[in-house]
Amino acid sequence: MTYCLGMKVASGLVAIADRRLTSGTEVSSNRKVSVHQLDHHSLFIMTSGLRSVRDKAITYFKEVIEEKDRSFNKLYKAVNAFGEQVRRVANEDREALTAAGLNFNLNAIVGGQLEDDDEHKLYMLYPEGNWVEVDQGTPFRIIGNSGYGKPLLYRNLKYDASLQDALKIGFLAFDATRISANDVDYPLDVVIYPKDSFHLTEHRLEKEDMEIIANQWSALLNNSVRKLPDDWMSPIFDKIPH
């Protein structure tokens, strides 16, 4: 399984992707975020799904970028081009995958800013090659194992959050997923894009880098539960025979 989270806030973009790959009982590690950067031209792609179709679609897209890079002056045009490669891979591989009992399940999050974009952008792209743009109402998208981190993101991530707060909230959403699912784990690839900077910063986080933060968060949660008032439970427990 995969955990890839893209967040769009007023101050920029934050992307988090785990590296864990599982195939039956085999566990391995591989990068799930691809970064492309030139002057006034910055984008990243995070993918989930079968590794074979992910790698193939990214390889095809890199060839398109090499040939037509300067024709992409807005990010949605690059997203359209990647969607075309996703459909291409689907046409080539779907029949064989179906025969093997597998689904074509490539999803992607694409973010960045190209020279004629009025601001940084974030898109969710589906296996059919179509996409939606992430807006201020729900400033994040998750692909892969998405259920466990969403409650924390819905409650805490606001569009006016700083990049630092977005990364902090994003990590805690990953940590909730890691605790709950054995197919998501370290290391984490982090990509930061400050608005209008046309520069993507990459960093890898290992378990030992974040262990203190994860333990501190767990302790804070446990302490908060104990501090919640109990009076609302009295009508329930008063009914219990003594």
- Residue 24 — pLDDT band, cuts 50, 70, 90? low
What sign has the CA pseudo-torsion 23, 25, 26, 28? positive
What is the residue range of 136's domain? 3-222
**Least confident residue range of 21-30, 63-72, 81-90, 112-121:** 21-30
Whether 47 is covered by a domain: the verdict is yes
Q: pLDDT per residue over 134-175, tens digit each?
A: 999 999 999 998 889 999 999 999 999 999 999 999 999 999
The CA distance from 94 to 193, in Å, is 35
Give the Cα separation of 157 and 166 in Å (integer).
7
Written as one letter, the residue type at 45 is I
Res 69: pLDDT? 66
In a domain, 71, yes or no: yes
- In the chain, the number of structural domains is 1
The answer to whether residue 227 sits within a structural domain is: no
The two structure tokens encoding residue 175: 């940590």
> Is 132 a member of any domain?
yes
* Separation between Cα atoms, residue 32 and residue 74, nearest integer Å: 23
User: What average pLDDT score do residues 35-46 get?
Assistant: 91
Asked if residue 24 belongs to a domain, the reply is yes
d(CA 98, CA 237): 55
Q: Please indicate, yes or no, if residue 99 is contained in any of the structural domains.
A: yes
The pTM of this model reads 0.92
Report CA-CA distances (Å) from 45 to 58, 112, 193: 9, 9, 13
Burial grade of 6 (CB within 10 A; 0-12, 13-18, 19 or more): buried
CATH number at residue 154: 3.60.20.10
Report if residue 194 sits inside a domain: yes
Is residue 175 in some structural domain?
yes
